[in-house]
Structure 1
């Protein structure tokens, strides 16, 4: 009964169905929610609620809507960019769905993974595997995680995954990602819509990255209607790729990091596949599969961050055979939750997402961020003596 009600609410939020009485009730809840989160941000901005300051350069990557805008791929891009430029970097992630979300844990010490997804959550494990040499910590208390990161690893820079609403920890730069197709969702706050805060909160951002731009040309990036002007705006795209192919009888023991030149899309092209996944937008995975040239014969949806049990794994394979699918397909976030466990008798393709900056904006974004990091930390690149001033809050 509860699951049915949740699906009905989701259908109203996404506009797939109408339920006037439910919409009125959700709108009333949204009004109260909006007042509460606006007051909370204002109290932090005015100094009535304290913010903790870490002794390093802190970058937050976040968004203003629930759902996937590409925060985790952007965190990976930034962490690897800073590492390549000579900075010591650590990443803080909440670790949604992991048993250590409340207590916190070190997921990777930079030398290798020391926690699995069941304990640490899928996103921290995925970041750890995609960012060699970068310590990753999980836990909803980012202050505690940040203190531990500074004590153990002495980073020059810390990157917060999904940190825009985590106001208790002060940051130097707030980067907010917006899906260019629906930057404000349906325009309503939770629970009537996907907005986590009123759009006025975007005034606190230092830069925006517009994701899923499609074939963006050479024209300058433009802010969506109603969004703050005068802030740097960069554009990116999500590129789907096959991260790995697991053969029948094998478990997922290793998930290679994906570079911008990788593809392997031919591994599923022309195949009839069965998709299973538990992410924020499962339907989007089907579109990605079809974009890579495969046919989705059937699918099975789970909630975001879902941890699979043996019964569900068996049901997935049974349904795939019933649909006459010759291959299973899931996402990299799902794959880290299955590592060392499931061994299917059907080939399993693992899809990944690489966030690629629009070529015109890539240099601008990297130059902007690196100059800010150098200004804060005092690290200077001999080829680039000039630095930008840090944005004022």
Structure 2
């Protein structure tokens, strides 16, 4: 089952007997899953399991749902601030769906930050290796559920467009653990906060304040900063205005990417959403080629995360990349104070 169909079933958008039976079956499976992840967090909390202390401060950036909440831009934002403050950060990532020892997430993080990136499922070992190589602060990518490594600051991202993953744990919904886990967050950043109505945003903020009264609350948006065209030239985002394009991506929240392009007044002749972490093979490239030729698009536009996986793809139209950065729109100084406090340990 592809990602789009799974989301339609989880959200209730797909009707019919088959979809209803799947929702019932996955609801039943989600209950023992939720109990297990809650038990695991509790065992760490009471000291049955002990997290490992890294030889340098650890800032974790994670989420409570699967899919794209904006972790990669947030990691880049934190790393850039640490570097500007005179520190030597390294990024620890698990290297999800690595191929031939390489991870698209790791490669993208390195290109965004020029900071050392260690891709290894063993975060304890990678923390040690990063410090031995010269890092004096560690940024843990997708770390909220990774309890083995003790952290000095837990930043959790909540996507305003789907904050609670349809209200259920996996596999019925997108929650990686029950919402009670938010009580252990130090800071919560509502990403894509500019993509919902002000009243919805206020209601979400109030809900999060109740779920995590100990956490500072912040808001962020995703700002397009450039269109990378042929030969790596960077043009302003307005370069897309009025241009007929085919947009494609393989990320956790493709609709946010498409909405961003529409906000730049590009003409989307077709939008193609592949599964998150897609490996671009011949079937995917054939679909992109067909869309480009059928639509007469002036260009193909994708994300930076997808672009690193496309090496000489032989497409019938120019391949452009939309660069996006996260922008903390509310509570920036408070968040920076939390980061300063974490690195002073």
Residue 79 of structure 1 and its aligned partner are, at CA, apart by 0.7
The corresponding residue for 1:203 is 183
Residue 12 of structure 1 corresponds to 9
Deviations 1:7-36 (A, max 9, x none): 543312123223332221111101010001
Other-structure match for 2:249: 277
Contact 1:61 1:163 in 2 (8 A): yes
Distance 1:202 1:311, change over 3 A: closer
Q: Closer, same or farther in 2 for the Cα pair 1:272/1:222, shift >3 Å?
A: same
Per the alignment, residue 297 of structure 2 pairs with 325
Which residue of the partner structure matches residue 229 of structure 2? 245
Pairs aligned (count)? 336
TM-score if structure 2 supplies the norm length? Answer: 0.90
> Is the alpha carbon distance of 1:88 and 1:205 closer, same or farther for their aligned partners in structure 2, counting shifts above 3 Å?
same
Q: Which residue of 2 aligns with 1:50?
A: 50
Contact 1:212–1:236 under 8 Å retained in 2: yes
Is residue 59–residue 342 contact of structure 2 (8 Å, CA) maintained in 1? no
Aligned to 2:116: 135
Q: Give the structure 1 partner of residue 22 of structure 2.
A: 22
**2:64 is aligned with 1:84:** no
Separation in 2 of the partners of 1:224 and 1:120? 39
Distance in 1 of aligned mates of 2:338 and 2:5: 44
What secondary structure, in the 3-state scheme, does the structure 2 residue paired with 1:287 have?
helix
Q: Residues 7 and 239 from structure 1, CA distance in 2 versus in 1: closer, same or farther, beyond 3 angstroms?
A: closer
Q: Is the Cα contact below 8 Å between 2:76 and 2:109 reproduced in 1? A: yes
The yes-or-no answer on 1:344 pairing with 2:344 is no
Question: Structure 1 CA distance, aligned partners of 2:282 and 2:173?
Answer: 34
Say if 2:271 is the partner of 1:299: yes
Residues 28 and 331 (structure 1), Cα distance of their counterparts in 2 relative to 1, 3 Å cut = same
Q: Point out where structure 1 has 5 or more consecutive residues left out of the alignment.
A: 100-117, 257-262, 377-393
**More displaced 10-residue stretch of structure 1: 194-203 or 298-307:** 298-307
Residue in 1 that maps onto 2:63 = 63
Residue 180 of structure 1, CA deviation: 2.6
More helix by share: 2
Q: TM-score, normalised by structure 1?
A: 0.80
Superposed CA RMSD: 2.3
Q: Is the 8 A contact 1:209 1:235 kept in 2?
A: yes
Aligned position for 2:41: 41
Residue range with higher mean Cα deviation, 344-353 or 40-49: 344-353
> Are positions 1:363 and 2:333 aligned together?
yes
Equivalent residue number for residue 101 of structure 2: 119
SS of alignment partner, residue 133 of structure 2: helix
1:259-296 deviations in Å (ceiling 9; x for gaps)? xxxx7112211011111211112233221211111111
